[in-house]
Structure 1
Amino acid sequence: MFLKITRSGTRQYLQLVEAFRDEAGKARHRTLVTLGRLDQLTDSLDSVISGLLKVTGRPNFLDAALPAVEFESARALGNVWALNELWESLGFGELRRVFRKTRHSIDVEALIRVMVFNRLCDPESKLGVLRWLDTVAMPGVEVETITHQHLLRSMDALVDHQADVDAVVANLLRPLIDQELSVVFYDMTTIRTEGLATVDGDVRQYGMAKEGLIARQVMLGVVQTGDGLPIYHEVFAGNTAESPTLLPTLKTVLERFPSISRVVLVADRGLLSLDNLEALSEIRLESGKPLEFVLAVPGRRYSEFADLLRDFQRQCEAAEQEIVDELPWRGLRLIVAHHPELARQAQTLRRERIETLETQANTWVGKLDAQDAGVKARGKKLSDSGAKARLYHAVKDARLANIIRVDLKNERFAYEIDHDALALAELMDGKLLLVTNTPDLSPQGVVDRYKSLADIERGFRVLKSEIEIGPVFHRLPERIKAHAAICFIALILYRVMRQRLSSADAPLSPERALEELQKLQRHQIRINQADRPVTGISRLSETQDRVFAALRLKKPTQPQQLSLL
């Protein structure tokens, strides 16, 4: 049976109608009762419905009180769920075993996991982590019990058991590293710190930052594989020179990954020294093979190779595309690459700067000569010492102090162009010099290996941008090292995500993938105060489903999510 509205003229009637089949089996309708005119039933319709419910013996919901429904704020689930699945699948869950033996009553592994995920999802200070936790549904973590002191204590525990933590990380990284040929890249960067107070063993020291400024900072060294996977990091004092850190870092890496049968170390210009070359040549792997290396020659040492490059330069003058050659040097291979377009750009820019400085200097010379001749002019009088100082600082800012030499000892304003230095600079324009002991890589192969070092620079950019490793607000050296360790673990997860997304041809970066998964939310409602809350998750979109598939991670389902509450 059903209700039907019929029309007669301008009036409408409400009828109770039954559907049936006649003897021929054809569907028919018959009116059981006309309830009345629709316009007259408006006020009494509730009575009609109540009467019908009473006749059928069903409860009258019109008289019943509506249930009290409470809604909790939705919490982001998809991003932290994916990171948690990745955490467990890679083997970071082994950290529970490390910290289970400690005296700490807090769940150190869970708190470290929280801080690592926060670095990837919404990097904040430690106090910001607590605010972020109020917006996410962290699997297996009792968010309400976490305090700021708990986070700091877990950082202390991380440093106290750093050796055991490093062993766990090295163990889970071994299956991800190519054991036959592992090209490793080493580089350092500066991390800015805040605060003026000093403490014992302070690693926050003033040094030259990568941005070209003197700042209070720490130095961070990172070793990555040829695939961009970070495998080691270390924090140094902010005034540490890069070159002395290379050998100790390399020895530690070889101790952690002894099964690697071949290592080709690639490092940037700041890490090359004669001491390093001799010591690197003496290092042997567990297999007995020598350590191989590709090191860039720093620009300050290019003058040592000027005579070697004279003949090569003749090839460069007519070159239209990059050319690569090999020269013997001290029992090693010196690989030289020349890029003609970069050389032309560098020479043009230098000549323009020199011309601008000479024009300015000649203007000052003319003004000084006019003043000596008694010619009066507007403005402040120019002195020889003032002109020297102004030209000297302009030359320094243009990085041409080795070519334009200002005579600061002369009483008169004087300068000269060092044409030999200019010729040497133009000889080296567009060139890349690499020192290597690799026996089987072609000269072009050596250059390609070195250019891959740019990938570790991208790793530093991820640390500084997406993960926001700096500025560091911690004061104690142990806390600074713990902060760096947390960011390093976050970088491992980031790189693994990037590798999996890339291999699946997914058009998303890790940060965009996490942003998309963040839209997958957990919802919770309570119907009447005495009832248990009902929890559910929003439906996966097609994009979210593809992200989980690309990352090769299990998707959250309703039963799994309910079991975590």
Structure 2
Amino acid sequence: MFVKITSSGSRRYLQLVEAYRDDLGKPRQRTVATLGRLDQVGDQLDQVITGLARATGRTLPAVEPPSITFETARAFGDVWALTELWHELGFDRLRQAFGRTRHAIDIEALLRIMVFNRLCDPESKLGVLRWLETVSLPGLSLESVSHQQLLRAMDALVDQQAAVEKTVAQLLRPLVDQELSVVFYDMTTIRAAGLSEQESDVRQFGMSKEGLIARQFMLGVVQTAEGLPLHHEVFDGNTAEVTTLKPTIEKLVARFAVKRMIVVANRGLLSQDNLAELQAITLPSGAPLEFILAVPGRRYGEVADAVAPVHAKHFAHATQEALAETHWNGLRLVIAHNPDTAATQTTARDKTIHALEQQAAQWVGKLDDQDEGQRQRGRKLSDGGVRAKFYRAVCEAQLTRIIRVDLKSERFTYGIDEQALKHAQLMDGKLLLITNTQDLSAEQLVARYKSLADIERGFRVLKSEIEIGPVYHRLPERIRAHATICFIALILYRIMRQRLHAAAAPTSPERALAQLRRIQHHRITLNGSQPSAGLSTTSAEQSALLATLKLSKPRLPEQMTLL
């Protein structure tokens, strides 16, 4: 007997059929039983088979469940997006810069790994290896990556620093306005760990941006008005900021041959030497370099004579923000005045001076009583001790130009420099800008300078999301390589930010990567066969995010590059 499927019209039936031979010996078939319609008998088929086996006294072999093995899921969507962006921008051309290195490993792939790690889960170089165990990088086989390979890749990055910077400049050049480029330059300090001393060590003790003396190196960054980073430079931790402006701008001018460039820099970068040096720089187009520099407080005395008549004419009785300009040393001096800020600063200074004078009077009274032989509670004061404490308090209040402490006198004495106080009150609530630009209005110049705040946000990204510091490398070359890796990561971050802002997407690059990270790579093995790989379903939100970033949806790579 056997089972047969027969059709009647559009329906199909399951029948039990017996094969036999007739009287003439010819093979024939006859239906023993019709088990039912095929589309209805499916749920009861197992019961029929079991019943037949029981009727014949047979035991059916046990059916074992399939053997299924799942590997740990790995994050895929975030590194996929970064890989797509990496190739779209042309950063894979860095492989050409490393083509003549002595290393046999794929330097560009290792560099890509370290850059992506800064954006996805910033770790130390050893931490990168732990991170690689949790991700599936498209097109790369990661099993053979070692800590030494990462360090060798950093060494190769420094060896080919000039070629790398040239390649990055070529990639960014199409994104820069060739007619007019407004660029912003600023510096920050990056904390460095370790106590060892190296030859040409960039880790030096200096004043950090947090106001503390720390071992550090300095990082200068240039970016466009749109927030695109163009260039970075590493300086020793005790370098004076004013000395970094000219060499940095000269490199920038050489690499980005725009017809016109306006450099905007903060207060700490203005000096007489810088003004002369910047005015001497000429662009490849033949046009002079233009600049907008803020006057720092330490140089207010140099421009006070130019500001005083403008203040008397435009700001003395102002009740709201106002702008005016004059000339100083052949350059435009733009003055922005905020009366509310001025009143707040003047009141706060007067209050501080009054408190210091009261403290000084209390100490002087106690010293006089001691001189007359009167005994008082507490430790005995001395003129030298009072002088040191008072001077320290004046320094902490940043009033040394106004409160003059006589450090040479045997007795504690001080005085108020009324001229310095008058100059300070004159400058309260003011922003002073020096520029050689002629065709921008005072309002446009102030707006350009205030855009400098965006580079500060870039520094916050470097220090928080990308975690550039503290740096634990001790070799100067490794520190420079680490800074380059973080700078390239900042470029990718800012391009993602531009695309999100252009689409008015209410998310940041780090949140976008966190959302895409939920797209995972899975691998399954069934009954010991060859493993099969797949990706988790891309949600509508993730698809919209990829479309906003102008990136394709994730798919499994066709081939893997072995490192």
| TM-score interval, smaller chain | 0.7 to 0.9
Matched, 1:395 2:400: no
Which residue does the alignment assign to 1:224?
223
CA distance in 2, matches of 1:394, 1:358: 11
Paired residue type of 1:378: R
CA distance in 1, matches of 2:350, 2:172: 50
Which residue does the alignment assign to 1:555?
553
State the 1:371 CA deviation. Answer: 3.0
State the 1:205 CA deviation. Answer: 1.5
CA distance in 2, matches of 1:399, 1:49: 96
Q: Deviations over 1:196-245 (max 9, x none)?
A: 11122211112221111222111111111111111111111112112222
Paired residue type of 2:383: D
- Within-5 A mapping of 1:147-158: 147-158=146-157
State the 1:376 CA deviation. Answer: 3.0
Which residue does the alignment assign to 1:277?
275
State the 1:47 CA deviation. Answer: 8.1
State the 1:137 CA deviation. Answer: 0.8
Q: Deviations over 1:79-120 (max 9, x none)?
A: 100000000000001112222333311111110000000001
Query: Please, which of 260, 263, 267 is the counterpart of residue 262 of structure 1?
Result: 260
Matched, 1:311 2:309: yes
- Within-5 A mapping of 1:64-463: 64-258=63-257, 260-314=258-312, 315-463=314-462
- 8 Å CA contact 1:50, 1:62 repeated in 2: no
Which residue does the alignment assign to 1:484?
483
CA distance in 2, matches of 1:238, 1:419: 37
SS at match of 1:445: helix
SS at match of 2:350: helix
Once the two structures are overlaid, the 10-residue window that deviates more, 173-182 or 358-367, is: 358-367
CA distance in 2, matches of 1:431, 1:229: 29
Q: Deviations over 1:481-500 (max 9, x none)?
A: 11111011001000000000
Q: Deviations over 1:376-399 (max 9, x none)?
A: 332222222222222111111111
- 8 Å CA contact 2:138, 2:560 repeated in 1: yes
CA distance in 2, matches of 1:215, 1:53: 87
CA distance in 1, matches of 2:395, 2:52: 94
State the 1:254 CA deviation. Answer: 1.3
Alpha carbon RMSD of aligned pairs, Å? 2.4
CA distance in 2, matches of 1:68, 1:427: 83
1:76 and 1:62, CA in 2 relative to 1: closer, same or farther beyond 3 A? Answer: farther
SS at match of 2:344: helix
- 8 Å CA contact 2:141, 2:560 repeated in 1: no
Once the two structures are overlaid, the 10-residue window that deviates more, 193-202 or 126-135, is: 193-202
Which residue does the alignment assign to 1:29?
none
- 8 Å CA contact 1:280, 1:291 repeated in 2: yes
CA distance in 2, matches of 1:469, 1:241: 21
- Structure 1's unaligned 5+ residue stretches are 1-19, 22-31, 34-44
SS at match of 2:305: coil
Which residue does the alignment assign to 2:24?
none
CA distance in 1, matches of 2:176, 2:447: 20
Paired residue type of 1:159: V
SS at match of 1:294: strand
CA distance in 2, matches of 1:411, 1:248: 48
Query: Please, which of 522, 530, 533 is the counterpart of residue 531 of structure 2?
Result: 533
Paired residue type of 2:251: T
CA distance in 2, matches of 1:431, 1:419: 20
Paired residue type of 1:278: A
CA distance in 2, matches of 1:217, 1:145: 34
SS at match of 1:405: strand
Paired residue type of 1:299: G
- 8 Å CA contact 2:139, 2:558 repeated in 1: no
- 8 Å CA contact 1:325, 1:336 repeated in 2: yes
- 8 Å CA contact 1:536, 1:562 repeated in 2: no
Which residue does the alignment assign to 1:24?
none
State the 1:176 CA deviation. Answer: 0.6
- 8 Å CA contact 1:222, 1:233 repeated in 2: yes
Which residue does the alignment assign to 1:473?
472
Once the two structures are overlaid, the 10-residue window that deviates more, 388-397 or 367-376, is: 367-376
CA distance in 2, matches of 1:546, 1:450: 35
SS at match of 1:308: helix
SS at match of 1:309: helix
Paired residue type of 1:369: D
State the 1:61 CA deviation. Answer: 9.4
CA distance in 2, matches of 1:267, 1:539: 48
CA distance in 1, matches of 2:250, 2:388: 48
State the 1:457 CA deviation. Answer: 1.2
Once the two structures are overlaid, the 10-residue window that deviates more, 127-136 or 387-396, is: 387-396
State the 1:46 CA deviation. Answer: 11
CA distance in 2, matches of 1:205, 1:282: 31
CA distance in 1, matches of 2:136, 2:79: 7
1:107 and 1:61, CA in 2 relative to 1: closer, same or farther beyond 3 A? Answer: farther
Identity of aligned pairs, percent?
60
TM-score, length-scaled by structure 2: 0.88
- 8 Å CA contact 1:268, 1:296 repeated in 2: yes
1:325 and 1:53, CA in 2 relative to 1: closer, same or farther beyond 3 A? Answer: farther
State the 1:331 CA deviation. Answer: 1.6
Paired residue type of 1:313: H
State the 1:561 CA deviation. Answer: 4.4
SS at match of 2:156: helix
Once the two structures are overlaid, the 10-residue window that deviates more, 323-332 or 129-138, is: 323-332
SS at match of 1:307: helix
CA distance in 1, matches of 2:156, 2:117: 19
Q: Deviations over 1:264-287 (max 9, x none)?
A: 111112222222222222222222
- 8 Å CA contact 1:206, 1:239 repeated in 2: yes
1:61 and 1:203, CA in 2 relative to 1: closer, same or farther beyond 3 A? Answer: farther
- Structure 2's unaligned 5+ residue stretches are 1-8, 11-33, 36-43
- 8 Å CA contact 2:394, 2:400 repeated in 1: yes
Once the two structures are overlaid, the 10-residue window that deviates more, 366-375 or 462-471, is: 366-375
- 8 Å CA contact 1:191, 1:219 repeated in 2: yes
CA distance in 2, matches of 1:355, 1:323: 30
SS at match of 1:201: coil
SS at match of 1:438: coil
Paired residue type of 2:277: A
Once the two structures are overlaid, the 10-residue window that deviates more, 265-274 or 406-415, is: 406-415
SS at match of 2:306: coil
Once the two structures are overlaid, the 10-residue window that deviates more, 233-242 or 366-375, is: 366-375
Paired residue type of 2:162: A
- 8 Å CA contact 1:535, 1:562 repeated in 2: no
Which residue does the alignment assign to 1:27?
none
